[in-house]
Structure 1
Amino acid sequence: MNEEKIIDDVVELWKIICTYGAIDEKYYDKDLIKELKIALGGKHNESIETILSTNNISLEKFISEFFKVTKSFSEMLNGLLEMFEEANAYTSDHNINLEFNFNTSKCFSFDINHFKSMKEQVQKIEKEFVYLYISELVSWGLIDPFRKVTNWQSKITDIKAINWLKEYDENKWPKSLLECPQTGNNELDEYIVKVWNIWDIFLNECKRVFDNPNDAKAKRAENEEWPFYYLLLDKWPYIFVDNLFKFTYYFDILNEAEKLALSKKVIESLNEIFNYSSITKDKHKVWEKTIKEFLKLPVWKHRYELYSVWVCTEIMGALDKYNIEYNVIDGKLSFSFGGSHIASIVNSHPELQIWAELKTEWEKGETKNRKSRGKHIQPDYSLVVLPIEDVRSTLVVVECKQYKKPSRKNFSEALEDYADGRPESKVILVNYGKIPSKLIEKIESENKSRMLAFGKFIPRSTEIAEFKNQIITTIDKYYNSPGKTIISNYMLDTSEELSIILEWNEKPRDLDLSLIIKDVNDSMEISYKNSGKKEQFPFCEYKVDVRNGFGPEEIIISKWLNKDYTIIVHNFSKEVDLQASSARITLRQGIKEYQIDIANNSENGEVWEVGIIRGSTGELVQLNNIVKTFNED
């Protein structure tokens, strides 16, 4: 029996990845290759082979960086599996078949259990290989270069970091998505990103092993041998975030000469840590079979096609406050080039449906001379009300792009044609890579106001929140008109305490959170004017009046009454309009959260009507309106 081959040469490993992983360096994978070159310390005009050879890159280092730059791929699998499991509830055999037929030459399918096993295999390989690299680098030494140079004036102003630390303090794995802070010094920022990636991998490993930060203490006996146990016990992830964000604040207030000296000092300290690591070129071996099995997985081979399906998961995420019913037929959920009815929103009138590749006639097809479209248009996704044949029934179009060679012309034509062919629709284009600058601004069309484009649209992208906001704002606006109804399925548990949390930007300095509690007989208000107590009627308490921006302000409902609870936000200081505040309300019950972002297309006014909670049932009725003054009636 032949012994399985061991790869001990990093250049050989890269050649195997290129061959078996179908890496397209010139087109589809161009951005991935660019990120990998930077991560390996190379230049854009050098080949990967040259960088690996001249920089003496270890196998562990290369594998770690490769899986980091392809991390969005495995994160897409998480989103896809979540959507498939939701769809799985609509079939009796609980193992639906997923069919992807993007065109006649690229048709593939698998059942949900097969998909789960592939996802687990991908993440197992990632964990094993990346582990080799971070195991020797995660230490207090990664924090010291930032901690030792700041002073008592250092503070954190980033609201996401503040919220992240607050959630960690509450013994929760934070749901807030943090972005790596930057200093503006390019060389220093490269090192900060490098350290941040190590922290991110470490945090994900902690979350894999433990249910919450304090779980490590509770399960000491069974986990003390885990290599990062004591670092987690000493709050290493928390202290890292706290010190890094304080450092970037401190760096920002220095003069240019001080910044230059400090960046040099920090880079030298970090280099000592990376150089001191005992990782050597031959310390670990890589089994060729393991790598090839990963690269042959259908979910990797068809990663470009799966991207457009992942975008569908973000569409569904935007609609998650409604009751989504997937269109599973004969145990199959289909994504077909010929047109597929993916799902419907229950309790919507007229019914809202989500379609993939819905084809409709296009009157201007011939005059526009678009050879690829002809007399019809067929966007990737359509959010459409009945009757679906009427082009004016489409509310939102989402087009996914992964051109081999993206161009302004391709993007512009897609936006123009879909906006023209679906005359009442918001048209959203998303791209895996970058979008040309001022793309929509340079389009000459009367439909420009209905077009949006999002580049680098991948998991964890900052664009995802606005993408979802645009979809839900469009849907809510349509159903708020006379004769149309759509019922939110978000229900709060009236047997549990509820925290209503308001957060916003630095300005306006003073937003005020209020809760109007009302029935047919009386009305009362909980706010900074009347803070109430959790133990006394009406069993609500206002916590803190924040007057210097950011928040959070909080109202707690400890015991529910058979009344309506209306959530209101007042712009007290008025330095900027409410729309510019980026205000959001979080409804929190235990580990369950629901977030409402302030609408971007509202009228100017001093009051944000957030929504009404029915105390009798827990039903949330979203208003998301900005008005001049609040009228209880």
Structure 2
Amino acid sequence: MMLITSPVDLWRNLCAGAGLELRLKGGRPGRDADIEESLRLALKVPDTAASLEEWLALDAAAPLPIVSIEQLLIEVLKSQGGFAQMMQDILDVLITAQAQQSSHPLSVEFKFDDVTDPIKATLEQFRQAVDRMQRVLEKRPKLPNNNLMWLIWRELHDLAPKGPADWPEKFPPAVTVPKTGHGGLDVQLARLTRLVSDFIQLWKRYGATRKEVMAAAHTMTNDVPDAQILRGQLSAASDYWGYKVLWAAQDISRQILARQLDPEMVLEKLAKVLSGIEWIEVWIEHTTQELLDALMLPVWKRRHELYSVWVGTRLLRVAERFAPNMRFHPVDGVLSFEFGGSRLATFNWNGTQFDIWAELRSALVGRSSKRKKGIQPDFRVLQPNLSNSTNEQTTYVLECKHYLSASTSNFTQAAMDYARSCPNAVVHVVNHGPADESSLRDVLPAELQPRARFIGSATPLQETAAQALSRAIQDALFPGQTLPASDSSTPDPVAGKTAPTIVPGCVGYALLEWDESLDDMDLALKVIGSDGRATQSIDFRNEGALHAPPFACFVEDIRRGPGIERIDISAWHFSRYELVATNFSKSGRMVPQALHCNIVTEMGLTQLHCPAGLAETCHEWRIAELHVSSGMVTIVPCH
């Protein structure tokens, strides 16, 4: 990997390492031009700039550059959020398909056009690719948490115990520490100055004074990402952490120059305590390499083809929601999105069977400037009837395009060919980029216009926000139908009470409650892999997040009874979970009258009491397993 000393170096490195195709011969946009365009918008690059690379080079040469290496890398990571969402949406549907054939693992095959190298993976391999990409895209430079901050201060205080009698109320200027003449030590002292400067920037985002920053920490809600860590970092402002660190660093420098401290000993201590920090240059190097590794994956290289698969999963998801009896049709354990035609699923609606097909070929009716003999839309829904032709059985056609802007001839010709050939079908032509539906529809013959629709800007992120594509599919397949709204206030089957309301944006939560006979109880939500082992745990050590995998968040660590600990869940991201309660303090006895757990989902409230049979020496209660299938949660008590 080339040395990265400027944003333009980073961009060139990414372009070369990932093999980005930004332009074709003649200057036309290449397959990856959308990445450059999104970065130009994010960085506010003037339209007059010929390319992002040219503008970054000019900016780097300016006396006061606008863009830093860190900022560009973060914007590149953000630009791949749509791809990550697309992969997650596909994975969610595959997990549902796996749940229907629990006897053996599911594999999936994406065969684009007539190729000899289709993408084929087990569900677990596909999940790992999704997790890998999401982990990379979530990477951000992180300041030390409260524990490490004060560990750094204690080490500095041991070296420079004398401090001023009074600490100033204003945030300290990040002054340069005088150099000692010892290269390695000066690097560590300079890092302390930069660390304090970074914290001052953080504090000033929340207030102009220490009092205002402290108030922001106290009023911060748990829906803020990494809220507990951030509270500790903000609270340190009121304890003069930044000023204390800077004063100690300067005093250490003075003592070294006065030969009152051994520089080798000081260097060893500082290097050790600061080793837990991922400095920005290290973060850039590691993140760039991890991003390049992710961009070399086959699923990313062929993400434009995968877009059509994602559109198909929106069709499958809508059908599954309205027809819970929908069945997937893997062949020998492989669910295939195949160019040559594959039946993906079957569902029943109003007593009639419907089949969902990918790439099913049938005869072309009439003449076409684009097609010679047949039509082969990306997806179609058939109402099977042996007395009718494939075209006559077709009730819905879904064609996908991945254009930067809609091509009038390509889009309208596809709609005409499909609508004319399939006289009973609603036809949707979907584009990743924009599409002017009214102008495109006006080009169609009048008799075909009522059955054709053009849907532009159908991206994974837009779909998450607005559900426009899903609603269009719903109107075509299930006209006049709406999904029943979930009731967040459900009767408690145990006590005849009303279950607490689910946090907005969440699908459920688990709440562990204990009385004063117990002290430090800990609740954990564990993700269980296909081998039956826990792959990760959301608890007081790893709080998780609601806005990113694992889409579950530990709320607050309570260390004395009576107490309540809670884990919120914003999406059922995995197919199997386990809830566990641990008596961390090993005080009191876990008995039914002292300890219970409420599990609240969109299906209602389940209350489980600690079993009476736990031995006095046992400090763990395996509460329940949560099995997820088609978005539905089944709670299986462990005792």
Structure 2-normalised TM-score?
0.52
1:318 and 1:468 in contact (8 A); partners too: yes
2:52 paired residue among 48, 52, 57 = 48
How many angstroms does 1:393 deviate by? 2.4
| 1:448 matches 2:449 | yes
| 1:114 matches 2:141 | no
2:141 and 2:280 in contact (8 A); partners too: no
In structure 2, the residue corresponding to 1:430 is in which secondary structure?
strand
Letter of the structure 1 residue corresponding to residue 139 of structure 2: E
Map of 2:21 onto structure 1: 24
The CA distance in 2 between the partners of 1:591 and 1:142, in whole Å, is 36
The CA distance in 2 between the partners of 1:472 and 1:9, in whole Å, is 49
Map of 2:310 onto structure 1: 310
The CA distance in 1 between the partners of 2:313 and 2:478, in whole Å, is 19
Alignment of 1:252-331 (within 5 A): 284-287=283-286, 289-319=289-319, 320-323=321-324, 324-331=326-333
Q: Deviations over 1:170-208 (max 9, x none)?
A: x996xxxxxxxxxxxxxxxxxxxxxxxxxxxxx5x45xx
For these two proteins, the number of residue pairs brought into alignment is 378
In structure 2, the residue corresponding to 1:439 is in which secondary structure?
helix
The CA distance in 1 between the partners of 2:492 and 2:403, in whole Å, is 51
2:41 paired residue among 33, 38, 42 = 38
1:357 and 1:381 in contact (8 A); partners too: yes
How many angstroms does 1:380 deviate by? 0.6
How many angstroms does 1:411 deviate by? 1.1
- Cα distance, 1:231–1:331 mapped onto 2, change above 3 Å: farther
Q: Deviations over 1:248-291 (max 9, x none)?
A: xxxxxxxxxxxxxxxxxxxxxxxxxxxxxxx9985854146433
Alignment of 1:62-461 (within 5 A): 62-105=72-115, 107-129=118-140, 205-206=225-226, 224=228, 226-227=229-230, 284-287=283-286, 289-319=289-319, 320-323=321-324, 324-346=326-348, 349-364=351-366, 367-370=367-370, 373-387=371-385, 389-403=389-403, 406-436=406-436, 438-445=438-445, 446-461=447-462
Question: Which 10-residue stretch deviates more, 306-315 or 39-48?
Answer: 39-48
In structure 2, the residue corresponding to 1:68 is in which secondary structure?
helix
How many angstroms does 1:385 deviate by? 1.4
Q: Deviations over 1:378-408 (max 9, x none)?
A: 1111122113844232222111101477521
Map of 2:248 onto structure 1: none
Give unpaired runs (5+ residues) of structure 2: 23-28, 60-64, 144-197, 209-218, 236-277, 503-598, 605-639
The CA distance in 1 between the partners of 2:199 and 2:422, in whole Å, is 56
Question: Which 10-residue stretch deviates more, 69-78 or 343-352?
Answer: 343-352
Which structure would you say has the larger Rg?
2
Alignment of 1:447-596 (within 5 A): 447-461=448-462, 465-477=467-479, 591-592=601-602
2:402 and 2:431 in contact (8 A); partners too: yes
How many angstroms does 1:294 deviate by? 1.5
1:400 and 1:430 in contact (8 A); partners too: yes
The CA distance in 2 between the partners of 1:70 and 1:593, in whole Å, is 34
In structure 1, the residue corresponding to 2:10 is in which secondary structure?
helix
In structure 1, the residue corresponding to 2:460 is in which secondary structure?
coil
How many angstroms does 1:477 deviate by? 4.0
In structure 1, the residue corresponding to 2:20 is in which secondary structure?
coil
The CA distance in 1 between the partners of 2:234 and 2:312, in whole Å, is 38
How many angstroms does 1:315 deviate by? 1.5
Question: Which 10-residue stretch deviates more, 295-304 or 430-439?
Answer: 430-439
- Cα distance, 1:590–1:392 mapped onto 2, change above 3 Å: farther
The CA distance in 1 between the partners of 2:331 and 2:430, in whole Å, is 29
2:344 and 2:356 in contact (8 A); partners too: yes
Letter of the structure 2 residue corresponding to residue 438 of structure 1: S
Q: Deviations over 1:4-33 (max 9, x none)?
A: 876444323222322332323213333332
Letter of the structure 2 residue corresponding to residue 422 of structure 1: C
The CA distance in 2 between the partners of 1:21 and 1:65, in whole Å, is 16
The CA distance in 2 between the partners of 1:337 and 1:100, in whole Å, is 8
In structure 2, the residue corresponding to 1:368 is in which secondary structure?
coil
- Cα distance, 1:45–1:172 mapped onto 2, change above 3 Å: same
In structure 2, the residue corresponding to 1:344 is in which secondary structure?
strand
- Cα distance, 1:126–1:6 mapped onto 2, change above 3 Å: farther
- Cα distance, 1:137–1:425 mapped onto 2, change above 3 Å: farther
How many angstroms does 1:68 deviate by? 1.3
How many angstroms does 1:118 deviate by? 1.2
| 1:15 matches 2:12 | yes
In structure 2, the residue corresponding to 1:99 is in which secondary structure?
strand
The CA distance in 1 between the partners of 2:8 and 2:31, in whole Å, is 22
The CA distance in 1 between the partners of 2:16 and 2:361, in whole Å, is 37
The CA distance in 1 between the partners of 2:139 and 2:53, in whole Å, is 24
- Cα distance, 1:389–1:334 mapped onto 2, change above 3 Å: farther
In structure 1, the residue corresponding to 2:340 is in which secondary structure?
coil
1:321 and 1:489 in contact (8 A); partners too: no
- Cα distance, 1:414–1:27 mapped onto 2, change above 3 Å: farther
Q: Deviations over 1:303-334 (max 9, x none)?
A: 11111111122222322132221111211000
- Cα distance, 1:593–1:65 mapped onto 2, change above 3 Å: farther
Question: Which 10-residue stretch deviates more, 400-409 or 98-107?
Answer: 400-409
How many angstroms does 1:73 deviate by? 0.5
In structure 2, the residue corresponding to 1:307 is in which secondary structure?
helix
How many angstroms does 1:346 deviate by? 4.5
Question: Which 10-residue stretch deviates more, 30-39 or 352-361?
Answer: 30-39
The CA distance in 2 between the partners of 1:426 and 1:119, in whole Å, is 33
In structure 1, the residue corresponding to 2:38 is in which secondary structure?
helix
- Cα distance, 1:113–1:411 mapped onto 2, change above 3 Å: same
The CA distance in 1 between the partners of 2:389 and 2:234, in whole Å, is 59
1:58 and 1:280 in contact (8 A); partners too: no
2:368 and 2:413 in contact (8 A); partners too: no
The CA distance in 2 between the partners of 1:434 and 1:29, in whole Å, is 17
How many angstroms does 1:338 deviate by? 0.6
How many angstroms does 1:60 deviate by? 1.1
Q: Deviations over 1:424-473 (max 9, x none)?
A: 21111111112146333431311111221121211231685232223223
Map of 1:550 onto structure 2: none
- Cα distance, 1:335–1:385 mapped onto 2, change above 3 Å: same
In structure 1, the residue corresponding to 2:381 is in which secondary structure?
strand
Letter of the structure 1 residue corresponding to residue 334 of structure 2: K
Q: Percent identical across equivalent pairs?
A: 25
The CA distance in 2 between the partners of 1:488 and 1:350, in whole Å, is 22
2:341 and 2:360 in contact (8 A); partners too: yes
How many angstroms does 1:227 deviate by? 3.9
- Cα distance, 1:130–1:137 mapped onto 2, change above 3 Å: farther
Give unpaired runs (5+ residues) of structure 1: 146-168, 174-202, 207-215, 217-223, 233-278, 481-485, 502-588, 595-633
